[in-house]
């Protein structure tokens, strides 16, 4: 045991007999212990415990007004969980019943009166050695836990960066700013929060959503970047980005990539069953897919692409209202409208023109 630490060990001794305290002080000082705090009043024990944060406590078992058993019960409530604080009982009562009760209440060892100085020093040294090793172990565990936490944080950051890079890859050719996936993820997160989803699920949706169009890397430029409308054949090819994306993400053991696969293959399904690739209808479509369908649609409408101008916010909202119960889950549309607000500043004529598109 480290002798410096041993010399600095703090004692709290509670005994109603001054003679016993004086005897213990002499024995312990000769053994090299100097931080000795004694009291004959057991009622002071709790205050002294809080002030001193002792390394070892010695308690007389039989005292008037408040006995050692009562103090042991209180110490069990005061001691931090997992902290090894040695408690030695001073007693002339060597009956089995007394020992069993004291041990049951948290005592670690006994010093039998009349005290033998050799026995006192040996038992205290052993208890303090165990406490020293326990503190060392706790410190080591804290350092290891900190390292594990740091490593976990690094891995989490690396995983997030990889997800962001993958998402950026999916938008590299048809979104110059690379912000489409970020905006869609933010809107999907807001909708998920407004729906009352658990925080962990909201976080997964936010992280998985940017990969919704990763399958676009498998679509030729002449189709992906074509201005104007697709031919029927081109549209069929464009639809394949959902299945391509799902295929890329297939087989992952990570929940975020599993959800990303679900979103990739379902974010173009429609509430009325006319979407693609599988024609899912209503709640057959996973909730995350329904959320991202609307978030993606709104962002695609309100931002310019090589093949289209940007719609105004009002036009996009009008179109989404029109598609309530057809393209989109009515519940999600209602939540979306609460989030973005319905701007009443544009005219009925403008709304009608938007609805006719």
CA angle 166, 226, 322 (to 5 degrees): 85
More confident position, 39 or 221: 39
The per-residue pLDDT for range 18-63, each reduced to its tens digit, is 999 999 999 999 998 999 999 999 999 999 999 999 999 999 988 8
Model confidence pLDDT, tens digit, residues 281-313: 999 999 999 999 999 999 999 987 766 788 999
CB–CB of 252/244 below 8 Å? no
pLDDT band at 2; cut points 50, 70, 90: low
Burial of 332 (0-12, 13-18, 19+ CB in 10 A): buried
* Most confident of the following: 226-235, 250-259, 340-349: 250-259
Q: Are strands 35-39 and 87-91 parallel, antiparallel or unpaired?
A: unpaired
Question: Which pLDDT belongs to residue 341?
Answer: 83
Question: In the chain, what are the domains?
Answer: 3-144 (3.40.50.2300), 172-356 (1.10.3210.10)
Region 112-134: mean pLDDT is 91
Is the preceding omega at residue 114 within 30 degrees of 0, hence cis?
Answer: yes
Please report which confidence band the pLDDT of residue 249 belongs to, taking 50, 70 and 90 as the band edges.
very high
pLDDT at 266 over 90: yes
- pLDDT of 3 > 90? The answer is no
Return all residues near 266 (Cβ < 8 A) that are at least 6 apart.
242, 278, 280, 285, 286, 288, 289, 290, 293
Give pLDDT, residue 342: 58
d(CA 33, CA 6): 7
- Read off the pLDDT band of 179 (50, 70, 90): confident
Sheet harboring 87-91: ordered strands across?
35-39, 10-14, 56-60, 87-91, 109-112
pTM, to two decimals: 0.59
Q: Is the pLDDT of residue 227 over 50?
A: yes
pLDDT of residue 348: 39
Q: Given this model, what pLDDT does residue 307 score? A: 63
Q: Over 60: is that where the pLDDT of 76 sits?
A: yes
Q: Average pLDDT over the chain, rounded to whole?
A: 88
Q: Mean pLDDT across the stretch 122-140?
A: 90
User: What is d(CA 63, CA 60) in angstroms, rounded to the nearest whole number?
Assistant: 7
Determine the pLDDT at residue 197.
Answer: 97
The 3-class SS string of the chain reads CCHHHHHCCEEEEECCCHHHHHHHHHHHHHCCCCEEEEECCHHHHHHHHHHHCCCEEEEECCCCCCCHHHHHHHHHHHCCCCCCCCEEEEECCCCHHHHHHHHHCCCCEEEECCCCHHHHHHHHHHHHHHHHHHHHHHHHHHHHHHHHHHHHHHHHHHHHHHHHHHHHHHHCCCCCCCCHHHHHHHHHHHHHHHCCCCHHHHHHHHHHHHHCCHHHHHCCHHHHCCCCCCCHHHHHHHHHHHHHHHHHHCCCCCHHHHHHHHHHHHCCCCCCCCCCCCCCCHHHCCHHHHHHHHHHHHHHHHCCECCECCCCHHHHHHHHHHCECCCECHHHHHHHHHHHCCCCCCCHHHHHHHHHC
pLDDT band (50, 70, 90) for residue 180: confident
In the prediction, which pLDDT does 226 show? 84
Cα–Cα distance, 59 to 73 (Å, whole number): 12
Q: Is the pLDDT score of 355 beyond 70?
A: no
């Amino acid at each position: 045991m480290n002798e410096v630490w041993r010399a600095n060990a703090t004692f709290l001794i509670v005994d109603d007999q001054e003679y016993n305290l004086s005897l213990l002080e002499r024995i312990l000082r000769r053994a090299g212990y100097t931080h000795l705090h004694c009291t004959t009043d057991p009622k002071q024990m709790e205050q002294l415990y809080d002030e001193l944060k002792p390394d070892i406590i010695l308690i007389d078992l039989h005292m008037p007004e408040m006995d050692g058993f009562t103090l042991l019960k209180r110490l069990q409530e005061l001691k931090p969980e997992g902290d090894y604080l040695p408690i030695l009982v001073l007693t002339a009562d060597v009956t089995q019943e007394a020992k069993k009760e004291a041990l049951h209440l948290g005592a670690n060892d006994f010093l039998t009166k009349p005290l033998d100085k050799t026995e006192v020093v040996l038992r205290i040294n052993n208890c303090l050695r165990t406490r020293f090793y326990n503190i060392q172990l706790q410190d080591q565990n804290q350092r290891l836990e900190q390292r594990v936490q740091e490593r976990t944080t690094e891995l989490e950051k690396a995983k997030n960066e990889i997800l962001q890079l993958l998402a950026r890859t999916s938008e590299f050719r048809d979104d110059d700013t690379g912000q489409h996936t970020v905006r869609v993820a933010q809107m999907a997160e807001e909708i998920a929060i407004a729906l009352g989803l658990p925080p962990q699920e909201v976080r997964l949706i936010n992280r998985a959503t940017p990969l919704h169009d990763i399958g676009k890397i498998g679509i030729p430029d002449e189709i992906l970047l074509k201005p104007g409308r697709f031919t029927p054949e081109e549209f069929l090819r464009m639809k394949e980005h959902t299945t391509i994306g799902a295929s890329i993400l297939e087989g992952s053991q990570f929940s975020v990539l599993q959800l990303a696969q679900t979103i990739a293959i379902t974010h173009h399904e429609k509430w009325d069953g006319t979407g693609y690739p599988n024609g899912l209808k209503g709640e057959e479509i996973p909730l995350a897919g329904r959320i991202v369908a609307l978030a993606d649609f709104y962002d695609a409408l309100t931002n310019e692409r090589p093949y289209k101008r940007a719609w105004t916010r009002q036009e996009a909202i009008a179109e989404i209202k029109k598609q309530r119960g057809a393209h989109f889950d009515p519940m999600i549309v209602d939540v979306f409208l609460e989030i973005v607000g319905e701007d009443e500043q544009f005219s009925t004529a403008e709304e009608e023109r938007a609805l006719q598109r």
